[in-house]
Every structure is written in structure tokens, then in C-alpha cells.
Amino acid sequence: MRTKYAVVFICVVALVIIEKESNILSRVSDKLIPRQTPQQTPQTPESDNNTGPKGSAAVLNVLLAKQPATKNNLTNFFEKKEVDETDSIKAQRNSSGRKHVLLMASTRTGSSFVGEFFNQHGETMFYLFEPLWHVERVMATAAEVNNGTILPGVYRDILQALFLCDFSPLEMFISPPPKNHVTPDLFRRESSLSLCEDPVCTTVLKDVFERYHCKIRQCGPLNLTLASESCLTKQHHAIKTVRVRQLDTLQPLVEDLRLDVTVIQLVRDPRAILASRMVAFSSKYRTWKAWAQDGQVPEDDEEVKRLKGNCDQVRISAELGLSKPHWLKGRYMLVRYEDIARYPMQKAEEMYKFTGIPFSSQARDWILRNTQTTEEASGIYSTQKNSSEQAEKWRIGIPFTLVQVVQKVCAPTMKLFGYKFVDDEKALTNKSISLLEDKQFP
């Protein structure tokens, strides 16, 4: 009896979720279609058949298939000429000296921490924390239907709009829909200093605002028009995201002549990522815990395949970036979380230098305060004991059986990034054995 009720309950919940998602998707396609292809909307068979996520997704697909037309044009232009950024293209770029930083990471790689390096830059920075969260939430069902091929394009186009201070494409994914461009529901709004400082913070609910502790200032609902206006006044823009997985899908964004984009890919030892995810998302990783107890891991299990898939995606993106294709020359940087943990100040300086944004005293202060270093120890060759200790904690927590699995399925990724393999539990837990090769990524 009980299971029967449980099944009914799950079905009802599932229906409610599907209903909600398809509403949002319809909203998205309703809004996008008239804007992009007005002549086609009423007549297309897809819109007659637009009753669920699949229909909406099909509409989006059509839409996205159309969009790249002008971009392909640009792409062709680049490919034909085979020129370097340094020459004529650079002259054509018109971002008015504005730099756009995309911090591309995966979960549990320290990306929030590294994002702070830019968030804390000061008044001239407009920083957004995981804006694509809204998109992923709506598109997850559609992406499955579509074999995961449309999501990267949607992500890229929304990032492009955000870098241009246009929030309207993102707005279509915010639930419930913003009224007059005002929403109390932007994901982790308090993680962006630029969204809780004046004048974007219109109503202060609790004012204990300090420049470095934005999180304790509570603002009223966010006026996205104001956010956009503020964005336009900022000299530099940075976005952190764990949702972009394929670097190649970003080409049209990087080639947009109105932007001056730098992609910083943040990576971490996949063994540490697994250990950290098992703690952070503990119910999702229940299977892994069970395997750890059995001492047996079925290697053809979906979970293991997913781990391999994640590792491969990160590696493929890094290989592309490191191979320096013309469209990424001078615009791609690979950073290991472990190096940031060891030398936070030096790494921050390098990242800033690479993006062409001057390293600010505010950012420096924040790093000093949050890595527990002293001024003199923050020089080029210093080792940050505390943050590196934190970064190595996983070695004690993770069962060796799981380490072996990661080492097997993520071997090429680990080799590329210089993470050393261990043969036994002793080597894993002995902290005087470093698991990190010193490696420069040119």
C-alpha cells in the first residue's frame, strides 16, 4: 500500500515539475521567437505542437539553429583570413577598453573563492556569480530531450548578453517571472558586490554593509534595469560559471568584436573533486559511499561513466585552450586550484595581468585577509600553509578504492594537469608526499 501511495505521490510531483518547466519554456520561446523570427512564429508546426518541454525545446532548437547565421559569417571571416588577434582584428575590436573575464570551472574546484578575486576588485568591476543557474534549472529537461546539444548555445548567448549588460535573455529563465524587470529571486544575488551596492540596492532591509562583507547587507528586490545601468558604467566585467563545459562552444562569444574576453579555466585534482562532492552533495553520492564500503566499484555503472565524462570534458576543453587556436590566442589561461591554494597572491596577480585588468589594493586586501598570510609572506615564492592545508584535506577522507577508480577513468586528465598517481593508501594519506607536479601551462 505504502509504495503505491509513494508512486502516486512521485508521479504528482513529477507532473507538477514538468508543468512548471514547460510553462517557463513556453514563456522563453514565446518571448524569444517573436523577437528573433517574427514572420515564422504563428505558422510553424512546432508552435501548434508546443504543449510540453519537448515542443518548447524544439522551438528553441529552431531558434538557436537560426541565430548563429551572423556568427558563422564572422567565423568564416576569421577562418579565411587566418590572422592573429594582434593585427587588424585587434584594431577592429571596440570594447572601449573594457575587459570581460569568464571564470570557467566545475563544482568543488574552488571557483567561488577564485571568483572573489574579481568580485573584490572594487568599484570598477561588475561581477556576476552563476547567472546560468536559472538557465540550467529550466533547460535540464529540454537538454535531455535534445541529447544535450542545445544547452551550450543557450549558455553562450546568455553570457554574451550579460557581458553586454543585457539582462533580458536571462530574465526569461527567472522563476517566477520578474515583474517590470524587478525580481527578488536572482540566484545568490548577495554573492555579487555589484548587485548589493548603491544604487542597485534600492531598499536596504538590513544595513550592516561593509565593502567586503556584502553578504550581510540584505537588499530589497533586484531591479534588473538598474543592474543593467550600473553594469554599463563599470570598466570591467567578470562572470563565474560552473555550467559551461565545452570551451569550443564559446568561440562566437570570444570573437564578438564588441567584447574583449579572457577565459580562465579553473581545474582541480579529480580525486579531490570527488571527495569534496561526496561531502557536499552527500545524498547524490550515496552510491559511491556504498561502493567504498563494499570495496567494489562496478566500472560500467552510469555514475562511473559520468565521472569519466566530466574528466574528459575538462581535459578536452583544456587541450583546446592550450593548443592556442587563433581565436583563443592570448585569451585562454589554465589555472590549477592547488596552485592558487599554495600561492594565492602570486596566482591572483598572474590572472589579473593576463586579463589586462590592473590588480587593485582591495583585491589584494581581500586575499590577504582570506588566506591568512602576512604582507611579507605574500611575495612571489611564499607558500601559504593554511590554504594549502585546506586544499589537501581530502586525502584523509576519501577511501583508497575510490581513488583507484578516479585514477583509472581520469588518467589522461590527471596526466595533463600534473596530478601524481598513488599506489597505496599510505602514499595517499602521507602528506609529505606531494601529489602535484610543478607544471607551467603556457
The nearer residue to ligand NAG, 112 or 291, going by C-beta atoms, is: 112
- x/- mask, ligand NAG, residues 21-60, rule CB under 6 A, reads ----------------------------x-----------
Contact between 226 and ligand NAG per CB under 6 A:
yes
The per-residue DSSP string of 321-354 comes to HHT--GGGTTTEEEEEHHHHHHSHHHHHHHHHHH
Report how far residue 370's alpha carbon sits from residue 354's, in angstroms, rounded to the nearest whole number: 22
The nearer residue to ligand NAG, 140 or 290, going by C-beta atoms, is: 140
The nearer residue to ligand NAG, 115 or 334, going by C-beta atoms, is: 115
Helix (H, G, I), strand (E, B) or coil at 53: helix
Smallest separation (angstroms) from ligand NAG to the CB of 389: 7
Pick one of 386, 396, 412, 437: the residue that binds ligand NAG (CB under 6 A). 386
Report how far residue 155's alpha carbon sits from residue 2's, in angstroms, rounded to the nearest whole number: 42
Contact between 225 and ligand NAG per CB under 6 A:
yes
Identify any residues that bridge with 240 across adjacent strands, giving them in sequence order.
Answer: 103, 129
* Residue range at the interface with ligand NAG (CB under 6 A); choices 134-142, 219-227, 263-271, 350-358: 219-227
- x/- mask, ligand NAG, residues 178-197, rule CB under 6 A, reads --x-x---------------
Residue type, 56: S
Cβ within 8 Å of residue 321, ≥6 positions away: 247, 263, 265, 328, 332, 333, 334
Contact between 434 and ligand NAG per CB under 6 A:
no
Contact between 426 and ligand NAG per CB under 6 A:
yes
Query: Which of 39, 58, 36, 32 has the alpha carbon at shortest distance from 47?
Result: 58
Pick one of 3, 39, 43, 147: the residue that binds ligand NAG (CB under 6 A). 147
Report how far residue 17's alpha carbon sits from residue 20's, in angstroms, rounded to the nearest whole number: 5
Pick one of 73, 283, 323, 361: the residue that binds ligand NAG (CB under 6 A). 73
Please state, as a whole number, how many other Cβ atoms lie within 10 Å of the Cβ of residue 344. 25
Identify any residues that bridge with 333 across adjacent strands, giving them in sequence order.
Answer: 264
Residues that bind ligand NAG (CB under 6 A): 49, 70, 73, 94, 96, 147-149, 180, 182, 223, 225-226, 372, 386, 426, 430, 432-433
